Amino acid sequence: MRPRTKAWVAAGSGIAVGLTGLALSALPAGADDDPVLPEIGAEELVTSALEARPPAFDGVAEVTNELGLPPVPGAEALDFESVRVFHDGAESTRVQIERPASELTFVTNTEEAWAYDSQEHAARQLTWDEDDAAAARDHAEAELADPSRAAAEIIERLRPTSDIFVDGTASVAGRDAYELVLTPKPSEKTLLREITVAIDEETRAPLRLEVFANGTTDPVLSLGFVEFEVGAQDAELFEFTPPEGAEVESAEADDVAAEAGKHGGRDAGALEERTTTIGDGWDTVVIGEMPAEARSGEAAGPARELGEEAGALGEFGGGDQDLAGMLEQFGTPVSGEFGSGVHVEIAVGGAIVTDDGRIAAGAVPRQVLVDALDGADQQ
C-alpha cells in the first residue's frame, strides 16, 4: 500500500537537523524509464548543483512521509495535501500549500515577505531596509524552504562527512536527472542509511530528495516535484495584497530580530546564542531551551505576537495542549549525568526533552543524545 502523501514545512530550531524545510516528493521512476545521460563524476555534480542558481519555474510538489511523528502539539502544521512553487529565477518566490480545510500562501520578493493563512484569515508581513535586505531575504526564503533550496542545503551540510557517488539516472516530473547518493562515513553515529538527491541534468536544480533510515528499503521521507516547468513567470505572482477583511500584522526585519532576541525567539541570531551544537554532519546534536509556553500549552496559535515566534513569517498553527504531557505519553523515560527527561523517537532520529526544559535532537540513537547532554553540562 502506498504511504499517505502529505507536505511538510518544518521550520525552527534544528530539531530535525539537516531535514528542515518544505518536504515535497515524487514517486521514483521505474528502471525502464531511466534516461541515458552523459557520465559525470560525483564531485562535479555536487559542485554544479551548489553553484547553480534556480531557474524561473512553476512546479507542483508532494511528500511521502513515514517519519513516525507522534501527534504532539504543532504536528497539524505538517498536514498538507499539495504544494505549488513559483520562482522568478532571481530573488522572488511564491509557495501555495493546500491543507484539508485551508491554504497557506508565502510570497517573498526584493522588498518584503508575506505569509497568509486562509483559515485564520490572517496575514503577516516582513519588510526591510537596504542595509538588512540580504539577511532578511535569506530568513524569508528559509521559511519558504522550496525543495531545491532545501536539498542543496542538505548536500552542502553533509558533504564533508559523506561518501558520495552517482547512482545512475531517473526521470522526475518529466525531467532527466542524475541520482546523487550520500552515505554517512563509518565514523558517523546516525540512524540514517543514505540520502538520495535527483539533480536536473539541464538546470542542475535538485528535483527530489529521499531519506532512508537503517533497516528500511523504502524512504522514510521523499520530497520532490511531480510537475516542473521551466520558463518566465508573471511578475504579479510575486506581489501580495491581503484579502479584504484579513487581520494583518506587519514588522520590519530589524525590529523582529531585536524582539526575537529579547523573548528568546527563533530568529537566526537569537537561535545561535541559545543553542549548543555537538558534533557535525550526520550525527549532529542540537541542544536548546524549550520555551516555557510550549511545555505548558500557553501558546496562542496564529494570534501570537510577531516577536515571540519565528519572525514575522513564523509557522501558523499551534495549540493549547500540554507538550510535556504529550511527550510523557509517547516517549520513554531517560536519565544521565544531565538529569532526567523523556526520549521521543521517530524513524530518522529523536529528541530528549529534559525535566529542566532543554531539548536535544538529531538523526542519532538515544545514547548519542544522552552523551551530548552530558558533554554539554561539562563544557
Question: Residues of 120-152 as b/e, b for ≥16 C-beta within 10 angstroms?
Answer: bebbbbbbbeeeeeeebbebbbbbbbbbbbbbb
Concatenated DSSP letters for 50-72? HHPPPPEEEEEEEEEE-------
Query: In residues, how long is the chain?
Result: 379
Q: Which three cell numbers stand for residue 245?
A: 477583511
Mean pLDDT, consecutive 10-residue stretches, the chain (379 aa), reads 32 29 31 80 94 91 74 49 86 85 86 89 84 56 57 89 96 96 95 95 93 89 91 95 92 59 42 70 88 52 32 39 64 91 88 89 93 81
Find out whether 349 and 361 touch, Cβ atoms under 8 Å.
yes
Concatenated DSSP letters for 223-270? EEEEEEEES---GGGG---PPTT-EEEEEEHHHHHHHHHHHT---HHH
Strands 206-213 and 221-230: antiparallel
Q: What angle do CA 279, 285, 288 make, to 5 degrees?
A: 125
Going by C-alpha positions, the residue among 30, 9, 138 that lies closest to residue 85 is 9
Find out whether 285 and 333 touch, Cβ atoms under 8 Å.
no
**Alpha carbon 143 to its chain's center:** 8
Which pLDDT score is estimated for 72?
Answer: 47
- Cβ atoms within 10 A of the Cβ of 329, count? 13
Which pLDDT score is estimated for 143?
Answer: 45
Q: Which three cell numbers stand for residue 251?
A: 514588522
Find out whether 107 and 94 touch, Cβ atoms under 8 Å.
yes
Q: Scan for cell 511521502, then name that residue.
A: 64
Find out whether 34 and 200 touch, Cβ atoms under 8 Å.
no
- Cβ atoms within 10 A of the Cβ of 273, count? 9
Strands 332-336 and 122-127: unpaired
Which pLDDT score is estimated for 272?
Answer: 43
Strands 122-127 and 247-252: parallel
**Alpha carbon 317 to its chain's center:** 16
Which pLDDT score is estimated for 324?
Answer: 59
- Which DSSP letter does residue 7 get? -
Q: How far apart are CA 343 and CA 331, in angstroms?
A: 5
Going by C-alpha positions, the residue among 183, 181, 212, 217 that lies closest to residue 199 is 181
Q: Scan for cell 548543483, then name that residue.
A: 49
Find out whether 264 and 362 touch, Cβ atoms under 8 Å.
no
Which pLDDT score is estimated for 134?
Answer: 59
- Cβ atoms within 10 A of the Cβ of 167, count? 12
Find out whether 196 and 210 touch, Cβ atoms under 8 Å.
yes
Which pLDDT score is estimated for 222?
Answer: 85
- Which DSSP letter does residue 11 get? -
Which pLDDT score is estimated for 280?
Answer: 87
Question: Identity (one letter) of the amino acid at 157?
Answer: R
Domains observed in the chain: 5-238 (2.50.20.10), 264-378 (no CATH)
